[in-house]
Amino acid sequence: MRALVVGAGAVGRVYGHHLARAGADVAVYVRPAHRKQAEDGYVLSEIRLLGARRTHTFRPSRVVSEPSDLASLGPIDQVWLCLPTTALDEELLERFGDAFPRASIVVMTPGHFVKELVCRAVGARRAVFGVIGMLSYLSPLEGSDDPREQATPSGIAYFLARTKLSSASERRALDAAKALEHGGCPAEVVADATAEVTLSSAVLMPVMATLEVAEWSLSKFAEEQFASLASAAIAEALAVATALTGRSDPFAPIVSNALPLRLGARIAPRFAPFDVEGFLRVHFTKVDEQTRLLLEENVTHAKRLGLPHAALDDLLSELTQRRSRSKA
C-alpha cells in the first residue's frame, strides 16, 4: 500500500509512522520550510499508561513540498489529510483528488461543514472521514516543569486511543482502518465518523474555550463560574449537534453538568500519564482559530435552527476579551 500524509504535524507524523510500521510506503507533503526536517526523519515518543515512554523513528519514503512534485510520487492508494479546519479548502482537496484519482482521501479534520466540502470536491465514494484517536504534541512540552516531559527527546510525544473511520465505500474505510491496526494503532470502522466528530466537538470546543478564558489553569477551570460557563455552552452545542446529526450523546447529562466538569479538572492532572494542563495549553493555543471557528459555527447553526445560543455567545465574548487582553 502506498500512502501520502499531507500535513506532517503532531497528528500526521503519528499516523504516518503507524502506516509505515504496517509495511506501507509512506510519503509526506510538507511546506518547503519543513522539508529538511522530514527528510532527516521524525522522532516520536509513545506514551503508555504504565512503563517508560518508547522512542520510535519515522522516515518517510519520499518528501514533497510543491504541487508540481506530486506527479513524481506515482500512484497513491490513500491520501491522509491531517490538517486543522482552518487549512482545509476546496482548492486543496481538488489538488490532491485530481493528482491521485484512484486514491482514498482520508480526512482527519473536525467541523460539521467538512463532510459537504470534501464530498463536493472529491466525491462521497472516495472520501473517508475520521475521528482522531490520539493526543499528540511537540516534545519536550514547552513551558512544562513535569520531569516526564523534560526527559522526552525532541520530536513528537503521543498517547494513542482509538481512531474511528467511516465512508460511503465500506471497503475504503476498512482498508484505512486495517492499515492503522496492522501498524499498532487501534482503529475501527463506525457508521458515521463525521457525526461522532460533531458530537465530540460540541463538548471539546466549549471546554477548551473556557479553559483558555481561565488562563489555561485546570484548578481555575474547576471553580464554579468557569465550569458553569462551560457546561451551559456544552448543553447548547450538543443540542445543535443532535439537530444536525440526528444522534444524541449518551453522556450529555454528565458533560453538560458543571459538577462532573469540576471533578474532572481536579482529577485529570493526577492520573494522566503526561502533563495534561501543559498539553492543552500548548496544543489549543496553536489551533486557537479552529476553536473560535467551530464555536461560531455552532452559533450560526443554532440561529438557523431556532435553538438557544446565549451561553455560546457569552463564551465567545469572554474568549474575545481574553485574547484582546493577551495581545495588549
Backbone angles phi, psi at 238, to 5 degrees: -70, -35
**Strand-pair category, 42-46 with 134-139:** unpaired
Q: How far apart are CA 105 and CA 96, in angstroms?
A: 8
Pair (171, 201) in one structural domain: no
Predicted local distance difference test score (pLDDT) of residue 110 = 83
Considering the domain architecture, whether residues 16 and 152 belong to the same structural domain is answered as yes
E strand spans, the chain: 2-6, 25-29, 42-46, 54-58, 62-64, 78-81, 104-107, 127-131, 134-139, 155-160, 163-167, 187-189
Domain end (from 166, 191, 216):
191
- Domain termination site, one of 138, 163, 191: 191
For the record, the C-alpha cell of 281 comes out as 495549553
Residues 213 and 154 in one domain: no
pLDDT of residue 35: 96
Same domain for 169 and 58: yes
CATH number at residue 17: 3.40.50.720
What is the Cα–Cα distance from 16 to 132, expressed in whole angstroms? 13
> What pLDDT is stored for residue 327 in this prediction?
79
Ramachandran quadrant class, 23 (left: phi over 0; alpha: psi -120 to 50; beta: rest): left
Distance of alpha carbon 181 from alpha carbon 187, whole angstroms: 6
Distance in angstroms (rounded) separating the CA atoms of residues 106 and 126: 9
N-terminal to C-terminal alpha carbon distance within the chain: 51
Last residue of a domain, one of 143, 159, 191: 191
Distances, alpha carbon 66 to alpha carbons 30, 76, 108, in Å = 8, 16, 21
The answer to whether 155 and 45 are in contact (CB under 8 A) is yes
Output the domain CATH number for residue 224: 1.10.1040
What is the chain's pLDDT, residue by residue, as a tens digit (328 residues)?
Answer: 999 999 999 999 999 999 999 999 999 999 999 999 999 999 999 999 999 999 999 999 999 999 999 999 999 999 999 998 889 999 999 999 999 999 999 999 887 789 999 999 999 999 999 999 999 999 999 999 999 999 999 999 999 999 999 999 999 999 999 999 999 999 999 999 999 999 999 999 999 999 999 999 999 999 999 999 999 999 999 999 999 999 998 888 999 999 999 999 999 999 999 999 999 999 999 999 999 999 999 999 999 999 999 999 999 999 999 999 987 7
The pLDDT score that the predictor gives to residue 129 is 97
Angle between helices 224-245 and 288-305 (to 10 degrees): 60
Judge residue 19's burial from the number of C-beta atoms within 10 Å of its C-beta, 0-12 exposed, 13-18 middle, 19 or more buried: buried
C-alpha cell read off for 287 = 489551533
Number of structural domains found in the chain: 2
Beta-strand runs (E) in 78-126 = 78-81, 104-107
pLDDT value of residue 45 = 98
Mark whether 9 and 156 lie in a shared domain: yes
Domain span at 101:
2-191
